Structure 1
C-alpha cells in the first residue's frame, strides 16, 4: 500500500514551480555546460565536465524526487473541508505554552513545506501530533526535544 504524502495546495504549487524551473531552466543550462566542457577535449582531467555531470546528477535526482512526491501526494485544501472546530492538517493554531506563558501560532503543513522560522510545522512534528484532533480550550502535554510542555489551544483558524 502506498502511503500518501499530505500536502497543502500551496505546498503542491511550490513543488510544481520548482519542478518547472528544474526542467525548463536548470536542466537545459546543465546540458549546455556539458556540451561546452566536452569541447575542451580530454574528459578525464576536465573539471568543468565532471562538475557539470555532478550537477546534472543532483538535478535529475531532485526532479525524480519531486515527481514521486507529487504522484503520491494527497493535496488537502483546508478551505474545502468543513470546520469542525478541531485541529486538523492545514489549520493554523494559536497555543499558549503554560510553563513559559508564551503564545505561538503555527500552521500544520506537510514535511516539504515545514519551515519553523515561518511558523510552518510538519504534520509529523511532536507538537502537531499532540494537537491534531484537539479543540479550543484543550490542554495537551506534549513531549518535545526540550522535555514535556503543556500547551493550551487558544485559537484554531480554518483558512
Structure 2
C-alpha cells in the first residue's frame, strides 16, 4: 500500500535515501536508466553491424525492482524497498514513460529489421529511434529528480515519425 507523501513510512524512506544515489524526494534512482542506455548503444551499432540486431533482440524490458535486484548498485536493496513507497505523483508518470520506452524499443527493432538490407534507411531509423529514446530518458530522469512530467502518446508518435 502506497503511503501518502509526508506519511511516516514515506518520511522514513526519504531519510534513509538522503546521502545516497536515490533521490530523497522521489525515492527513485537514475541508475535504472542504464538499462535503456545499453539498448540505445546496441541500436546505434546496427547500421554498421546489422548482425547486432540479433543482440538487440536479446535485450528485454526489466522492471525497476528487477533491475536493482540484478545490479551491483551500492544501494540496490534500499532502491528495491523504497520503490514500494514512491508517491503516485512520481511513480505513475515514471512507469508510463518506462512503458513508452519499452514499446519504442520493440517498435524500433521491428522497423530496423524491415530495412536491414538498406544501410541508409537503417541509419535513418536508428537515428530517429535514438533521439526519441533519449528524449524519453530525459523525461524519466526529470521525474526521478522530482519533476512531474510525461510525454503523451501523440508526442511519442511525433518523435518516431508515425
- Which TM-score band (shorter chain)? 0.3 to 0.5
Q: Report which of the two has the higher share of strand.
A: 1
TM-score, with normalisation over the residues of structure 1?
0.33
Greater helix content: 2
